[in-house]
Amino acid sequence: MTDTILRRVRPEQFREVILLIVTVGLLGFFASQIPNYFDPRSVNRLTTGLAIPLVVAVGQVLVVITRNIDLSVSSIVGLSAYMVGTLLTRTDGLSPLAALAVAMSIGLVLGAINGLIVAYGGVPAVIATLGTLALYRVVLVEFSGARTVTTADLPDWLNDVPSATVVAAGGYDLRLMVGIALVVVILGQLTLRYLPFGRRLYAIGSNPEAARIAGLPAKRDVFTAFVICGTLSGLAGFMFLVRFGNITVTAAQGLELQVVAAVVVGGVNIFGGSGSMIGALLGVLLIETLQQSLLRWAGVSEFVKDAILGLLILIAVTADTIILSRLREMWVRVRRRDKAQAQERAQVVATGEGEMVHGA
Amino acid sequence: MARDLVRRLWSWEGLLLILLLVTLAYNVTRVTNFLTVSNQINLFQLGIEKAIVILAMAFVIISGEIDLSVASMMGLSAGVAAALFESGAPMPVAILVALGVGAGFGLLNGYFVAVVGLSSLAVTLAGYVGFRGLARLLVQDRSVGGFPDWFTNLGQRGMVGPLTLSIFIFAILAIVATVTLHFSGFGRLTYVIGNSAAVARFSGVSVARTKMVIFTISGLVSALAGVLMAARLGAVRASTAEGFELDIITVVLLGGVSIFGGVGSMIGVLLSTYLVLNLRNGLVIAGITGNTQTGIIGLLLILSVLLPNLAGRVRERLRRRQSDPSMRAPPADLSETARSQTAPG
């Protein structure tokens, strides 16, 4: 029985299934606790909240798969949101696409700095991005002079974007921002799955030494992963500006932890080499659901949020190491046995002895 | 003789000493009475909690791990002490429980890293979020104060002359840490494990136990620093000591401890502690505010790993060119291994 399952499902997919079950169970639980949990307004609010962490998470997955981490994403989001916001208040008639391009370029440059330090400077990613997390935030503080971008100063088109809807059915909307985020997730998944670049990221993350000896452009690929992560954070910064309008110097602070937690909970191995965008999507969904629902659940203080986030990271990482490594062993064993049997069978056929060898 | 001196100054500690002298010179020329005893004590007093945690962090990083949760632990222990005191427990009990919480969670960190075998980055990241979360749960958005006088006096008044308890504790711990790291079996184990955990295990060293001890001490010392901070400030918020891990890790790495483990000295760490205290003071004099200072510390953090890396690579290339002129382009894998082994200093 377990063998049949193991033949069909990879260990990593188990994890996604478990995560899905947990998330659905959680939704069911909160639905029984909170009145009107599934009414269109709250569902729309939940899905809208997903958009920004989702976009950042896609970039983070690319980086984490290569056995690195980018802690500076929240500062990139804040900085690009603030700079584009200021730009829009100062220049009239800047088109939405141009503003978006500026935001993403800012992200690209900041991501490239991270990539240079990590891939070519040989500085461990935690140290490098812990440094740039502080550094980029300070650039924002200096640049802003402690002023705030306010909704009133921003062009009108910006205020229409958050409620812009792609598809609507019975009050449930698929907002434009959520749509964009989903497109980013799909593109990310396709990249990981089908592009040589995506496949190389896995190779680099599971064994950097072997990847380099095999002649993979490891440094360039890690650099590119950081650049993409920065660019997507720039996109998220634009979405942040659009969604909130008021941008202070502390914008998006703490987002990096939520995203790293989501990515780790979503089954992307912190040691690199495994993980998928679908997992990250589930991770973001789980954490966002938990955070928003706890706020609405009477009897729970909002202060419990961070404690739960920490616990989730620990559970996810522990489960990954203990349960998944065991599953992986079982999976490999079944595969090996099947292969051995197939070989034996082939030999039997080849030597012309008619008797089949029975499978265990 | 002169050559010897030059070589000594070229070491990492020598570089730190030069930087320190430059910073000191700047501070002295800009502020009168900068080098007076009371001003120097004041300087230490302002960063004393960080300085205490730095001592423990040096052990963690030399053993090849990292502890991102120290600042959150400081906040949590301060929060535990404050919350217990608020609910009527006597202050000594509250302090002891706070220290116990620190040691307990430190042990837990160590257990997950050393026994379960998780990456210390992931475990202590969970601690970083989780401990702060627990502190928020305890203190919420209030500011808890009104501690007994003897407690706040401990943090604010001098015990002997102008020297506060915190400074005494730091001095004692600094001596203990130096002796332990450089002159005891435990210190040697720390280096061996940091150089190669596998080699250490095959040599019969109990890697797991040593790492658990180090993480427990890291938790305990952070908790102690948190309590001392509560005494000095006289009030506790959930955000107490937020962001301190940046300074703490920066000072340790700046002190010449390799982020890859196995390399570093307590002298270097103490030098860089004093350097960063002076640097922050100099920045204040130059009118640079707290936020920008944090950015400069961030830059310093990156540079303190980047520069030794680049220097090591250049040195390696020069040496190879000298020994074998026919070899123009060094193979990538050699320079790579050299990098991970190159020690600053």
- CB-CB under 8 Å, A313 with B259: no
Residue-averaged pLDDT of chain A: 87
> For residue A53, what pLDDT band results from cuts at 50, 70 and 90?
very high
Using DSSP's 3-state secondary structure scheme, residue B265 falls into: coil
Enumerate the β-bridge partners of residue A100.
none
Q: Give the nearest partner residue to A270 out of B122, B127, B238, using CB atoms.
A: B122
Read off the pLDDT band of B334 (50, 70, 90).
very low
Q: Which of B60, B111, B125 to mutate to test the interface with A (most CBs of A within 10 A)?
A: B125
Residue A175 φ then ψ, to 5°: -70, 155
Mutate to test the interface with A, among B306, B310, B314, B340 (most CBs of A within 10 A): B306
Which residues in chain B are closer than 8 Å to A257, comparing Cβ atoms?
125, 128-129
**How many beta-carbon pairs below 8 A join chains A and B?**
138
**Facing B302 at nearest CB: one of A131, A306, A310:** A131
Q: Is residue A134 part of a domain?
A: yes
Task: Check residue B160 and give its pLDDT.
Answer: 77
pLDDT of residue B93: 95
Angle between helices A40-65 and A196-206 in degrees, nearest 10: 70
Q: What is the DSSP letter of B11?
A: S
Chain A residue numbers with beta carbons less than 8 Å from the beta carbon of B302 are 117, 123, 127-128, 131-132, 135
Inside any domain, residue A356: no
Optimal mutation site among B129, B131, B253, B280, interface A, most CBs of chain A within 10 A: B129
Domain for residue A343, yes or no? no
Distance between CA atoms of B54 and B268, rounded to whole angstroms? 12
Instruction: Give how far the C-alpha of residue B179 lies from the chain's centroid of Cα atoms, to the nearest Å.
Output: 17
Contact between A322 and B310 using a beta-carbon 8 Å cutoff: no
Chain B hits for A141, CB-CB cut-off 8 Å, are: 291-292, 295
Query: Domain range holding A178?
Result: 2-332
What does residue A168 show for φ and ψ, rounded to 5 degrees?
-135, 135
Tokens for A324?
């998944």
Residue A228 reports pLDDT greater than 70: yes
> How far is the C-alpha of B134 from the C-alpha of A63, rounded, in Å?
29
Pairing of strands B144-145, B235-236: antiparallel
Please state, in angstroms and as integers, the Cα–Cα distance from residue A39 to each residue in A34, A36, A147, A291, A299, following that order: 11, 5, 38, 18, 21
Q: Is the CB of A303 less than 8 angstroms away from the CB of B291? A: no
Tell me if A34 is assigned to some domain. Answer: yes
CA atoms within 13 A on the CB side of A304: 13
Q: Is the pLDDT confidence value at B228 over 90?
A: yes
Structural domains of chain A, count: 1
Tokens found for residue A275: 């993980």
Tokens, residue B165: 């308890």
Output the CA torsion B106→B110→B112→B118 (10° steps): 120
Reduce the DSSP state of residue A163 to 3 states and report it.
Answer: coil
Query: Is there a contact between B253 and A127 if contact means CB atoms under 8 Å apart?
Result: yes
Identify the pLDDT of residue A194. Answer: 95
DSSP H helices in chain B: 2-10, 12-30, 37-46, 48-62, 70-86, 91-110, 120-139, 149-156, 165-183, 185-195, 197-202, 207-233, 244-254, 266-285, 290-323, 332-341
Of the candidates B66, B130, B299, which has its C-beta nearest A311's C-beta?
A: B130
- B116 to A322: CB separation less than 8 angstroms, yes or no: yes
Q: Where are the domains of chain B?
A: 9-341
Taking contacts as CB-CB distances below 8 angstroms, the residues of chain B near A226 are none
What angle (nearest 5°) sits at the alpha carbon of residue B240, between those of residues B223 and B94?
A: 45
Instruction: Note the pLDDT tens digit of each residue in A95-128.
Output: 889 999 999 999 999 999 999 999 999 899 989 9
- Spatial distance between the Cα atoms of B281 and B287, rounded to a whole number of angstroms: 10
Task: Establish if A353 belongs to a structural domain.
Answer: no
Q: Which residue has the tokens 């940091």?
A: B194
Least confident of A41-55, A157-171, A206-220: A157-171
What digits encode the pLDDT tens for the residues B16-40?
A: 888 889 888 888 888 777 778 788 8
> Has residue B325 got a pLDDT over 80?
no
Read off the pTM.
Answer: 0.85
Distance CA A141, CA B293 (A): 11
pLDDT band at B342 (very low <50, low <70, confident <90, very high): very low
Bridge-based pairing of strands B235-236 and A172-175 is unpaired
- Return the residue of B nearest to A218 by Cα: B332
Give residue for tokens 């056929």.
Answer: A349
Where residue B338 falls among pLDDT bands split at 50, 70, 90?
very low
**Residue A237 host element (H or E):** helix A218-244
- CATH number, residue A31: 1.10.3470
Token digits for A202? Answer: 């896995």
Q: Average pLDDT of B285-310?
A: 85
Cα separation, B213 vs B217, whole angstroms: 6
Residue B256 φ/ψ region, left for φ over 0, alpha for ψ in the -120 to 50 degree band, beta for the rest: left
Contacts of residue A211, defined as CB under 8 A and 6 or more positions apart, other chains included, come to A200, A203, A204, A218
Identity of residue B224: L
Domain B9-341: assigned CATH number: 1.10.3470
CA distance B185 to B187: 5
Q: Nearest-CA distance from A66 to chain B in Å?
A: 15
Asked if residue A279 belongs to a domain, the reply is: yes
B49-91 pLDDT per residue, tens: 999 999 999 999 999 999 999 999 999 999 999 999 999 999 9
pLDDT band at B339 (very low <50, low <70, confident <90, very high): very low
Question: In residues, how long is chain A?
Answer: 360
Q: How many CA atoms lie within 13 A of A350 on its CB side?
A: 6
A309-354 pLDDT, tens digit per residue, is 888 888 888 887 777 778 878 888 888 888 888 888 888 877 765 5
- Residue A338 lies inside a defined structural domain of this protein: no
Q: If you measure CA to CA, which chain A residue comes closest to B141? A: A303
Of A122, A126, A318, the CB nearest to B116: A318
